[in-house]
Amino acid sequence: MAQSVLCISCPNGISEAIGEALRQAGTTGIWEVSQREWRAFFNGEDGEIAAAVLRLNPEAVLRWETHEPVDWVARYQASLRALPVGRRFVILPSPDMENPWPGRIPLQLVPGMAFGTGEHFTTASCLRALETLPQVPPSVFDLGCGTGILSAAAWKLGARRVLACDVDPEACAVSRETARVNATPFEIVEGSADGVDERFSCIFANILAQTLVELMPVIRKCMLTGGALIGSGILVELGEEVLNAASLQGLRLIQRRTDGEWWTFLWRTS
């Protein structure tokens, strides 16, 4: 039986509120192609579903397509491969997979996760930025942790105070599993930066640009003197807005990376 697929494109990124609306509407699966393009699978077309998405984001571009059923488990299993990232890491998409690069630090994924896996530029470039720091940050805050892979990487490099947080309870659950399979007992809390009363030597913020701009003053308060902020998930056209917000907080831009679609920035406090 053919499936109906709602193709969603949002120029400023797709919020978790849309994901929740799709789940409540009975989606059988969501494919996050990127942070601004999703595919949601249903048993039939329903105009109310599209209307709900447009209420949450009037700028969303929607279209329905009809696809033959896909065995996602088989497709995922067939795609499994070890992925070297940067100079020091290798991402293993299955706990049973052997590390083909013993000299690299293995980061094991929770099976079935589709985003925050290291294949996307934003996650991989955060890992590369972490590697460029002159020394391992003793304390790390992973804001909007997603799968928790960045927290696991920081722990395996030698950070011994790693706090991960996300407003999505499902992301927190995945991060807990990531911590378990990697034997990296970092702390995970549900919430955002405004609920954290602590300062860190390094902060990851792989989140949407608009959210990063809004949280920049709070993030700055969480940074130690001389600390680093690695920001990603920033669409190229929104880069200047984020840079301006960071400059207003007295942050110095140290490094920038782009793949033509996304920015990753590294800042330092004075």
User: What was the pLDDT predicted at 114?
Assistant: 42
Select from 216, 171, 177 the least CA-distant residue to 191. Answer: 171
| Under-50 pLDDT residues of the chain | 114
Q: What CATH fold (topology level) applies to the domain 3-70?
A: Alpha-Beta Plaits (3.30.70)
Asked if 187 and 142 touch (Cβ cutoff 8 Å), the reply is no
Angstrom distance (rounded) from CA 178 to CA 21 = 26
User: What was the pLDDT predicted at 79?
Assistant: 61
Could you give the residue range(s) of every CATH 3.40.50.150 domain in the chain? 75-268
Cβ count within 10 A of residue 3: 16
Q: What is the assigned CATH class of domain 75-268?
A: alpha beta
How deeply is 244 buried, as exposed, middle or buried, from its count of CB atoms within 10 A (0-12, 13-18, 19+)? exposed
Asked if 155 and 186 touch (Cβ cutoff 8 Å), the reply is yes
Asked if 129 and 230 touch (Cβ cutoff 8 Å), the reply is yes
Angstrom distance (rounded) from CA 54 to CA 71 = 29
Strand locations in the chain (E): 3-9, 29-34, 37-42, 61-67, 83-85, 89-92, 105-108, 139-143, 161-166, 187-190, 200-206, 223-235, 252-258, 262-268
User: What was the pLDDT predicted at 118?
Assistant: 58
Asked if 93 and 80 touch (Cβ cutoff 8 Å), the reply is yes
User: What was the pLDDT predicted at 71?
Assistant: 67
Task: State the sign of the Cα–Cα–Cα–Cα dihedral 91, 85, 122, 248.
Answer: positive
Angstrom distance (rounded) from CA 137 to CA 151 = 12
User: What was the pLDDT predicted at 263?
Assistant: 96
Angstrom distance (rounded) from CA 24 to CA 48 = 12
Could you give the residue range(s) of every CATH 3.30.70 domain in the chain? 3-70
Cβ count within 10 A of residue 234: 29
